[in-house]
A = this chain, B = another copy of it.
Amino acid sequence: MNRATFTALTGAIAGMLATRSFAAESPESHATPHGAQRIAMLVYPGMTALDMVAPQLIFAALGNTDVQLVWKDRKTVLSDTGVPIVPTQTFDEVAPGLTVLFAPGSSYPVMNDPKVVAFMQRVGPSAEYVTSVCTGALILGAAGLLRGYRATTHWVFHDVLATLGATPVAERVVVDRNRITGAGVTAGLDFGLRMAAKLRGDDYARMLQLIFEYDPQPPFDAGSKAKAGEKIGRKVRTIFAPALASAKKEAAIARERLTL
């Protein structure tokens, strides 16, 4: 999708203005397009870029959306694998009444970062949809936004959701009222298409699927614990042991803070 295609795509929708490009330096350019649906996607150091980038592509391609990457400040954040991403808006600049609030994984101290918690609690309750991919669900949960909701997260972290007052569900995308959560990392594509269908209808989502040529053909069939087998599953659990310990520690702190 080049800029012209993107313009044609977004321009095609309901005759609205095409979603404009961001210019990180110029606050003027962040003016919300008239009547646009505002989508705030949390970004932070140590996040998994793919968790955010796949849904961002879909949200931006809905047309008439104002998609912002939000953080405490506009300093470049490094993803877990070293992709430097520049936030486009600070927490203070995000007004309540969002169409979508979104959190990606995968860093756990962020769950109890007072500024993150305050932001999520300020804009979460009025958001039309409160959403996440991967362990972004733990950030929602640590702000009390999943209490009493069914939700999913990366398969290694399901138990941690329960600590945060949610009911973990082993599905690719879990929809419970306006809480929509995706499983690990690559579930962002399936999550994004579900969101596209909710916000623009099934045919629009199908069109985006064809535009992004989402006709998955993984060379192996190892995308779930059951399919990957015992040996690989054990290896992954070992690799994730420190991360799981960190997430559990933060969840316990959040639980006490939230008096769950």
A: which residues have CB within 8 A of B? 1-6, 8-9, 12, 19-24, 46, 48-50, 53-54, 56-57, 60-61, 67, 69, 76, 78, 80-86, 88, 105-108, 134-135, 154-155, 172-173, 183-187, 189-190, 193-194, 197, 202-203, 205-207, 209-220, 222-225, 227-228, 232-233, 235-236, 238-243, 246
Contacts of A48 in B (CB 8 A): 1, 57
A106 to chain B: which residues have CB within 8 Å?
1-2, 5
List 11 A–B pairs whose Cβ atoms lie within 8 Å, in order of A's numbering.
A1-B105, A2-B246, A5-B242, A49-B56, A76-B86, A84-B85, A155-B213, A173-B217, A189-B218, A205-B220, A205-B222
Nearest B residue to A216 via CB reads B216
User: Which of A86, A155, A173, A219 gathers most chain B CB within 10 Å?
Assistant: A219
| Residue numbers in B under 8 Å from A189 (CB-CB) | 186, 216, 218
The interface centre, meaning the residue of A207, A213, A232 with most chain B CB atoms within 10 A of its CB, is A213
Q: Name the contact of A154 in the complex, choosing from B4, B190, B213, B227 (C-beta under 8 A).
A: B213
A72 to B143, CA, bound (A): 42
> Are B53 and A107 neighbours in the complex by a CB distance under 8 Å?
no
Q: Which of A2, A183, A189, A225 has the most CB of B within 10 A?
A: A2
Q: How far is the CA of A147 from the CA of B172 in the complex (A)?
A: 41
Chain B min CB distance to A75 (Å): 11
Contact at B46–A3, with CB atoms within 8 Å?
yes
**Is the beta-carbon distance between B184 and A212 smaller than 8 angstroms?**
yes
User: In the bound complex, do residue B78 and residue A22 qualify as a contact, i.e. CB atoms below 8 Å apart?
Assistant: yes
Nearest-Cβ distance from residue A121 to partner chain B, whole angstroms: 23
Q: How far is the CA of A85 from the CA of B53 in the complex (A)?
A: 11
Q: How far is the CA of A215 from the CA of B87 in the complex (A)?
A: 30
Tell me the bound Cα distance from A62 to B203 in angstroms.
38
Given A220-B202, A222-B210, A225-B210, decide whether A107 and B193 contact each other with a Cβ distance below 8 A. Answer: no
Q: Is the CB of B216 within 8 A of A190?
A: yes
Contact A46:B225 (CB < 8 A) given known A172-B215, A214-B218: no
Q: Which 5 A-B pairs have the closest CB atoms?
A: A215-B223, A184-B213, A60-B81, A216-B216, A206-B222
Cα distance A228–B193 in the bound complex, in angstroms: 14
Apart from the given pairs A2-B243, A3-B80, A69-B83, 15 other A-B contacts in the complex at a CB distance below 8 Å: A2-B105, A5-B106, A8-B242, A12-B239, A50-B54, A50-B212, A155-B213, A183-B213, A186-B212, A186-B216, A189-B216, A190-B217, A193-B219, A210-B233, A212-B223
